[in-house]
A and B are shown apart, each in its own frame.
Chain A
Amino acid sequence: MYILIVGGGKVGSNLTSTLMHMGHEVTLIEGERERYALLEERFEHVVRPGDATELFVLERAGIERADLVVAVTGDDEDNIIVCQVAKEKYGVPKVIARVNDPRNQQHFDMIGITLTVSATATILALIEHELPQHELVTLIDLKRENLEIVEFAIGSESPAAGKFVRELSLPNRSRLISVTRDGRAEIAIGDTKLAPGDLVMAILEPDVEDELKSQLMPA
């Protein structure tokens, strides 16, 4: 695969070496002169200088034959433009963008950049997952598959507390994955009985989230 990576910070440079080790052909574009010089010592001809939101920079880097473009700069607008141009002007089959500020996620979605990675949102979710008290946390958001993996706590007020999994009337497009009690996780099966304090993981299509919530969390 020919992969174009835009942005040579920690994410971009580590991604470049990982993908090269996997045997892919990679070009990394970095706009900042000083950072480019450092990257050039490490990656040599693989890294190219320039502002990747300028079309000629993308063209010189061979965007027309790229199978994948990954935009991981620290600037959300730059990432949006690189991906939009790659997709709509050069017909790149797959683009992935980094979302720096989770509040900008809606703009990526609106513009049609469906594959996004947000370190901030992921870190927030994982920290929330570690907190004793939490409502529903989205752990993994698989946008392209239209699936998400969520976790929530069963409170003493939950309509599901004291019930077996098979007794619950869960939405069709959802499944419980596991139940964690006192730090030990077990795969959720029909005979699993839910108790207050349990942490339950579920996989579902995002649009049935409210329906699932109503079955498991107090109104």
Chain B
Amino acid sequence: MASDGHDVTVIDEDGEALQRLADSWPGRFIHGHGLDTTVLVEGGIETADSVVVSTDGDNTNIVIAQVARTRFGCPCVVVRVLDPGRAAFYAAQGLQTVCPTSGAIDVVTEAICATPGRSA
């Protein structure tokens, strides 16, 4: 997103996460927890057009996404949920969920089904 010219801020509780970004990282980096509203405000959530929530915790992501949407009125909130069950439930509740697990299953299923079996 940053290399496409968007103004991006990253929030991570692991300060070393910054090192995984390129040395030329043009955006901002804030060290803190995404559920801490002062950190979110510092990151500019009140004026952000989009929020992407993709920590490694499904429940943390779902809660942050609801805070971004309901409390801060962010127009576009995308949330990563690994568990297909929770992803489906919260998608039905109106959250824009991305489920890498379902995505991977779809890709694998498609690959298997697209290949003719030995007997064919």
CB distance from A107 to the nearest CB of B (A): 6
- Interface range, A side: 10 to 19
Contact A53–B59 (Cβ < 8 Å): yes
Chain B interface SS verdict (over half): helix
Is B60 on the interface with A (CB-CB < 8 A)? yes
Per the bound structure, the CA–CA distance linking A104 and B67 in Å amounts to: 11
CB distance from A51 to the nearest CB of B (A): 9
Is B106 on the interface with A (CB-CB < 8 A)? no
Query: Do A77 and B63 contact each other (CB < 8 Å), given the known contacts A53-B58, A110-B71?
Result: yes
Contacts of A78 in B (CB 8 A): 59
Per the bound structure, the CA–CA distance linking A89 and B66 in Å amounts to: 16
Is A179 on the interface with B (CB-CB < 8 A)? no
Contacts of B31 in A (CB 8 A): none
Per the bound structure, the CA–CA distance linking A110 and B69 in Å amounts to: 11
Per the bound structure, the CA–CA distance linking A46 and B67 in Å amounts to: 35
Contacts of B70 in A (CB 8 A): 110-111
| Chain B 10-54 interface residues, beta-carbon cutoff 8 Å to A | 35-37
Contact A111–B93 (Cβ < 8 Å): no
Contacts of A75 in B (CB 8 A): 59
Query: Do A81 and B36 contact each other (CB < 8 Å), given the known contacts A88-B93, A107-B63, A111-B66?
Result: no
Contact B66–A81 (Cβ < 8 Å): no
Contacts of B83 in A (CB 8 A): 53-54
Is A55 on the interface with B (CB-CB < 8 A)? yes
CB distance from A6 to the nearest CB of B (A): 12
Identify A110's interface contact among B58, B62, B66, B85, CB under 8 A: B66
Is A99 on the interface with B (CB-CB < 8 A)? no
Is A103 on the interface with B (CB-CB < 8 A)? yes
> Could you mark each residue 63-88 of chain A with 1 if its beta carbon is under 8 Å from any beta carbon of chain B, else 0?
00000000000011110110001001
Contact B60–A77 (Cβ < 8 Å): yes
Is A106 on the interface with B (CB-CB < 8 A)? yes
Contact A53–B67 (Cβ < 8 Å): no
CB distance from B56 to the nearest CB of A (A): 12
Q: Which residue of B lies closest to A53 (CB)?
A: B59
Contacts of B66 in A (CB 8 A): 107, 110-111
Per the bound structure, the CA–CA distance linking A77 and B36 in Å amounts to: 12
Per the bound structure, the CA–CA distance linking A85 and B87 in Å amounts to: 12
Contact B35–A107 (Cβ < 8 Å): yes
| Chain A 85-120 interface residues, beta-carbon cutoff 8 Å to B | 85, 88-89, 103-104, 106-107, 110-111
Can you list 24 pairs linking A and B with CB atoms under 8 Å apart?
A54-B83, A54-B85, A54-B86, A55-B86, A75-B59, A76-B63, A77-B59, A77-B60, A77-B62, A77-B63, A78-B59, A80-B59, A80-B63, A81-B59, A81-B62, A81-B63, A85-B89, A103-B36, A104-B35, A107-B35, A107-B66, A110-B66, A110-B71, A111-B70
Which A residues contact B (CB, under 8 angstroms)? Answer: 53-56, 75-78, 80-81, 85, 88-89, 103-104, 106-107, 110-111
Enumerate the 7 nearest inter-chain pairs by beta-carbon distance, A residue then B residue, closest first: A77-B59, A55-B85, A81-B59, A77-B60, A77-B63, A78-B59, A80-B63
